[in-house]
Amino acid sequence: MVNDASDDETASVLLQLKLQYDHLSDVIISPSEERTFKGKKFALSKGLQQASNEYILLTDADCAPSGPDWLSCMVAPLHIGKQIAIGYGGYKKTKGLLNAFIRWETLQTFLQYSTYALAGKPYMAVGRNLACTKSLLEKAQRTEVWNKLPSGDDDILISTMATKDNTGVVFDSSAFTYSDTKTSWKDWAKQKSRHLSTGKYYKPVIKVLLAMYAATHALLWLTFLLPLATSFFKIAIFVMLLRSLLYWSIWLYTAKLLKEESLWFTFPFFDFGWMLYNFAFSPYIIWKNKKQWT
């Protein structure tokens, strides 16, 4: 475990864990130590140097596995020759609109990047639930783009190293992880702006495909709403119903697969809300992000 210059009780907690688990080793980074990588990536590199095994499983400190088989399920693709295993990092269900939308958007994002990976075009993953080989992660650290941002190690690893042959997707519910959602819209927006900042470093073809999807999604909703006050309203309703039947069927299947069936009633509302989401966060994808790691 890596203690990245913390000034809280982390050191004492690590000491207690070392007494409990004799195989646990820790790395202490002092505040004055010179950093070769920005932000989280430096702590990750220090931990990687201490790793003695080839398989690396990444998650966040606030994440909890869905069950005792999480580790074995996540590294299963590595046992059959894959170098990357992409998992689902969900959020715990609580009350409130923000929690529901965060879970909806997380599912929507997983639906996108998992199907792209299955189609042979992997472009992102979440560090909350990601397995890879040590040698591949070390190779990613040597790329020029790795140190462009203080975070985004998960997306950059996938966008630079993942291929249709070396990447697997894990759908087993035993391999999910869950963490707490943000409790305010402001904190969530700050988190999302940081997460989305790596989008500008995706491969050109991926950026085009994602932009086309977001644009056609917005165009469809706009071309549905505008004719409602005209004589073409019946055609608009028919086209939207046809589209929604297909899209929401796929979405519902994915929700069941990821144990998020309770979100079914939010589909129409958050489907429209996702258009507003794309408009709101596009500046963080297109322009340079100046946020620092905290």
Residue 64, SS3?
strand
pLDDT at 45 (0 to 100):
94
pTM: 0.87
pLDDT at 22 (0 to 100):
84
Instruction: State the SS3 of 166-178.
Output: CEEECCCHHHCEE
* Better pLDDT: 226 or 20: 20
pLDDT at 263 (0 to 100):
92
Q: How far apart are CA 198 and CA 145, in angstroms?
A: 10
| Contact in structure between 145 and 200 (CB atoms under 8 Å) | no
Q: 173-199, pLDDT tens digit by residue?
A: 999 999 999 999 999 988 888 777 788
Q: 30-60, pLDDT tens digit by residue?
A: 888 999 998 889 999 999 998 989 999 999 8
Q: How far apart are CA 278 and CA 204, in angstroms?
A: 19
- Architecture in CATH of 35-286: Alpha-Beta Complex (3.90)
| Contact in structure between 89 and 65 (CB atoms under 8 Å) | no
- Could you tell me the residue ranges of all domains in the chain? 35-286
Kindly state the DSSP code that residue 40 receives in the 8-state scheme.
Answer: H
Q: 76-123, pLDDT tens digit by residue?
A: 999 999 999 999 999 999 999 999 999 999 999 999 999 999 999 999
Q: How confident is the model at residue 294 (pLDDT cuts 50, 70, 90)?
A: very low
Over 80: is that where the pLDDT of 283 sits? Answer: no
